Amino acid sequence: MEREIIFLVEEAVEGGFQAKALGHSIFTEADTFEELKTMAQDAVSCHFEPAEKPSLIRLHLVKDEVIAA
C-alpha cells in the first residue's frame, strides 16, 4: 500500500482547477480549490480498493504567471 498519492494541480484555461495523479490514471476537476479537495478524495476512493487506498493525498498546485519586464 502506498502511503501517499500526489496530484499535479493546474488552473484550467476555462476556469476552475484540474488535477492529475502522478503514476496513476486518475484525473479530476472542479470549479474551486475547496471542491477539488473533495473531488480528489472521491476519485482516489473510486480508483483503489479500501485496503490499497493511500492514506494521504497531496495536491501540488502549479501556477504560471506572466508579468511585464
User: How far apart are the C-alpha atoms of 47 and 44, rounded to whole Å?
Assistant: 5
User: Hey, is 14 helix, strand or coil?
Assistant: coil
Instruction: Say whether pLDDT at 63 is over 90.
Output: no
Pick the more confident residue, 62 or 27: 27
Across the chain, which distance is largest between two alpha carbons, in Å?
A: 52
Task: State the residue for C-alpha cell 472542479.
Answer: 30
CA angle centred on 50, ends 40 and 42, rounded to 5°: 20
Q: What is the pLDDT of residue 20?
A: 98
Residue ranges per structural domain of the chain = 4-62
Instruction: Say whether pLDDT at 1 is over 80.
Output: no
- Residue 62's pLDDT band, with cuts at 50, 70 and 90, is confident
Stated as kind and residue range, the H or E segment containing 41 is helix 33-47
- Residues 7-49 pLDDT 10s: 999 999 999 999 999 999 999 999 999 999 999 999 999 999 9
